[in-house]
Amino acid sequence: MHSIRAAFCPRQFRFSLAVVALCTNLLTMSAAIADDAPQLAQQLPSSVNAIAIVRVGEILQSPRAQREDWAKTADENFLSGAGGIPSWVKNFVIGFNVRTAVPEEVWAAAVATVPTDHTIQMISQRNEMPLEMLGGLQATRGRGNNYLVGISPGVLGIWRPGVRQEVARWAGEIAAKITGPSSDYLMAATANPGQMVFAIDLDHALDPNNTQAMLEMNRQLAATSRAGLQSLLMSLKGVTLSIAVAEKTTAQVHIDFSQPVGNNGQAVKDFLLEVLQQMGASIDELDTSSVSASGNSVVLTSDFSDDSLRRMMSLINASPRLMPAKPAAPPTPSTTVTPPTSAPGRAESRAYFRAVDNYLNDLERAKRRATANSRTALWHDNFARKIDDLPTAGVDPDLLNYGSDVASKLRALGRSLQGQAMQINAHENTLVYDVDFTPGWASVNVWGGIGFGESSFNVRSNLQQVRERQAEAVIAGTDQRDQIWTMLRDQRSQVLRTMQQRFGADFPR
């Protein structure tokens, strides 16, 4: 069960954000925790088009979380830099402005409930960053590309990227009380009781030409069915994922329209799975999820594995760069045990190595289970970003070089899973993208977006040929990806031997 504990410890919201010791009173609160997520959401900018909510306090009260001591694991991972939301955060609400057509995050803003003694002044001092007045509120830069804002006692705001003018405008809107999502769909999502909720407003997001072309590729649909389904899809309002953590983790995906679904429930599910696969963001359990349709909504229900939960949490990555730990309590007079000494940097290097190792192991498991080559492209990119966000203070330089190279190779794997060709020199342990190959079609999607190259085709008429070319390129890159994974395994073995020579044979245990 370690993996689900790590999943709870979990930039870019392609659906992301790097935002957000021990606070023991959170572990003993009564079951009647007041849910302030809707109120926190009211502090978000009005132009958000996606939202994520993590009700940390509720999760930590679940029998499984208490039995397996998730709070302790969450804090340990947070403090070690492996990411995660620490136990002393009660509720965590993030708003994103996302260009779905690319897809890419423009900016992200988060609001979190924290202990009242966790002030913006303390964070400024601990991060050694000056305190500023922006829009009438106190703010300070984080150690990464972000800003923190003191909204009120016990409520902290985070903005990424750290563009000062944007932060000042948001702070001014908060002070003037003119914030809050303008989307009725997102505000409704804040009332969803799930312990983790992800929602995106997709009103007018689908491109009609691409949607029609994708439906025409489905030969199982009659022409009349395709016309009716396209009309339904063009009325798409949004998608909400709700996750409940109990003895099992259960997920529900609500796909909501502005017109009745009728008997199109299964067709809507198939369409969603196709979109997720093309984005490289597939979740295995959704393939076998149950489908129900009622009124204007289709609902998919499934249990989630620990790995799938971890991938969803990779969309939300907290970092000690942003929020320092609460000061440790001073030792009591009766304390007589002196902790053992260790080589400088050993603990930091061990935490760094284990974090990178966890990401690689997760992706290897996903690689073995994937039923289509391109299903996991997004997760490779997300985990590369998580490695980039790991704290580096005190970490062995050779280990930092290793982590940087792993992140680069994970991005290369993600590109390859979308059809980008590469040139690999296994002997020199190097790779470069094939600059003579321009995959303008690599990220063509139903939203109407184009990937990392210029398109030279008519999407409306050539989509099937484009998909076939992409699939061929992904398959052709199988040997290259296998070579990259071999390089990753060899590098891991080499750096592990080096670290054991420097820090002892028990590294990284």
How far, in Å, CA of 190 to CA of 183, rounded?
11
Q: Is 172 left (phi over 0), alpha (psi -120 to 50) or beta?
A: alpha
Cα 224 to Cα 49, 227, 228, 355, 462, distances in angstroms: 33, 5, 6, 52, 22
CB crowding 80-112: b at 16 or more within 10 Å, else e: bbbbbbbbbbbbbbbbbebebbbbebebbbbbb
pLDDT the model gives residue 470? 66
How far, in Å, CA of 390 to CA of 274, rounded?
33
pLDDT the model gives residue 28? 26
Q: Are 363 and 417 in contact (CB under 8 A)?
A: no
3-state secondary structure of 79: helix
Name residue, tokens 């022409």. Answer: 223
Question: Token pair for residue 206?
Answer: 């689908």
Q: Nearest-5° angle of CA 408, CA 412, CA 415?
A: 140
Residues 6+ apart with CB under 8 A from 452: 415, 420, 439, 442, 443
Name residue, tokens 């199988």. Answer: 478
Provide the residue type at 502 as one letter: R
Closest to 108 (Cα-Cα) out of 20, 197, 239: 20
Residues 6+ apart with CB under 8 A from 344: 394
CA 201 to chain centroid: 17
How far, in Å, CA of 341 to CA of 77, rounded?
21
Q: Are 391 and 81 in contact (CB under 8 A)?
A: yes
DSSP string, 168-216: HHHHHHHHTT--S-S-HHHHHHHT---SEEEEEE-TTTS-HHHHHHHHH
Provide the residue type at 128 as one letter: E
Model pLDDT for residues 218-270, shown as the tens digit of each residue: 666 656 577 788 899 999 999 999 998 888 889 999 999 999 999 999 989 98
pLDDT the model gives residue 389? 77
Q: Nearest-5° angle of CA 25, CA 27, CA 31?
A: 100
Q: How far apart are the first and last CA of the chain?
A: 18
CA 375 to chain centroid: 16
Closest to 451 (Cα-Cα) out of 417, 406, 410: 417
pLDDT the model gives residue 404? 92
Closest to 68 (Cα-Cα) out of 135, 130, 6: 6
pLDDT the model gives residue 103? 61
How far, in Å, CA of 413 to CA of 292, rounded?
36
CA 328 to chain centroid: 29
CB crowding 243-260: b at 16 or more within 10 Å, else e: bbbeeebebbbbbbbeee
DSSP string, 411-472: HHHHHHTTT--EEEETTTTEEEE-TT---TTTT--TTS---SS---S-HHHHHHHHHHHHHH
3-state secondary structure of 266: helix
What parts of the chain have a pLDDT lower than 70?
A: 1-34, 76-84, 101-104, 218-224, 278-281, 311, 313-342, 369-375, 425-471
Q: Which segments within 114-172 are labelled E, that is strand?
A: 131-134, 137-141, 147-152, 155-160
Question: Token pair for residue 200?
Answer: 């995106």
How far, in Å, CA of 34 to CA of 32, rounded?
6
